[in-house]
Amino acid sequence: MHIAIIGCGRIGQSLASLLLNEWYVSELSLVDVVPNLAKAVAEDFRHASVALRKDVEIEGYENVKDVEKADMVVVTAGAPRRADQSRRDLAVKNAGIIKNIAEGIYHKNKDAWFLIVTNPVDAMATLFYRVTKSGRVVGSGTHLDTIRFRSEIARRLGASTADIEGFVAGEHGEAAVPLWSTVKVRGVRLEDFVREDVATFRNEIEKAVKEIAARIIRHSGATIHGPVHAFREIIRSILLNEAKILSVASLYKIENSEVYLSLPSIVSSSGVQPVLFENLTDEEKKKIEIAAKAIYKTFKEATRDLNLR
């Protein structure tokens, strides 16, 4: 399969390296506006493919218009987040980049899936959809938040991460909604495993999940490995029709509009189908509505000067 990665920064290159090891990837297209960067990175990966004994066609471009007939386009391009920034702080700067990419790449890749990971990802996925009108736009959403959520729960309980179920919905970032009603440990309610006050346990987990990205960025410069493995899982679920339940962003109706928002969803080659929503608590549903409004506000502020049709 042919996967195109737009943006050859740390995330783009790390994702390409990960995908080079995937058996179903036969072609990689790398794109970056920095002169000669994508071509140099592509050459480096050609050497890596020899060591891996894999025949993968790898090309580097400076213009997204040169990419054609991709099965999946992953958009990573944009300004990276600093430790003192929220994801929303990147909205105006990255909106122009995303609009240009959407306008340039869609014409020759109308049958492709488009995975948007540029932050703030929910607003940027909404923008990409508004420009292309493609029904194959997916945002990485709160899948990474969900991974961090499960990791923290497992660590606090001394359990295997494989034994933890549970999702985070809403916005990737400030308005993320931990769905405690979905949490189970080895199929049993969380309350049966927590020996301390449950409310305190939940508050500590939520605080840790919201602060962990800034802490990683502060000390190492960027979050890389967690994100790219999360993106790989989404890519596989779509292209290989694994139909996993992942918390990714898809269209969500709000009053007089639509935004991309994350809900636990079956992710397959047929698309993204939200599930479990009716089983959530009233409080969780209310918080999801608040997240949708926050995403819409970010989207409107970011695109005010873009003259969207």
Of the candidates 17, 294, 73, the residue with the CA atom closest to the CA atom of residue 170: 294
CA angle 269, 272, 273 (to 5 degrees): 120
The residues, any chain, with a CB within 8 Å of residue 39's CB and separated by 6 or more, are 60, 61
Positions marked catalytic: 172
User: Which secondary structure element, helix H or strand E, spans residue 169, and what is its range?
Assistant: strand 164-170
Separation CA 174–CA 309 (nearest Å): 29
The residues, any chain, with a CB within 8 Å of residue 159's CB and separated by 6 or more, are 153, 185, 186, 193
Q: Output the six-digit token pair for 154.
A: 């497992």
DSSP state of 177: E
The residues, any chain, with a CB within 8 Å of residue 93's CB and separated by 6 or more, are 78, 79
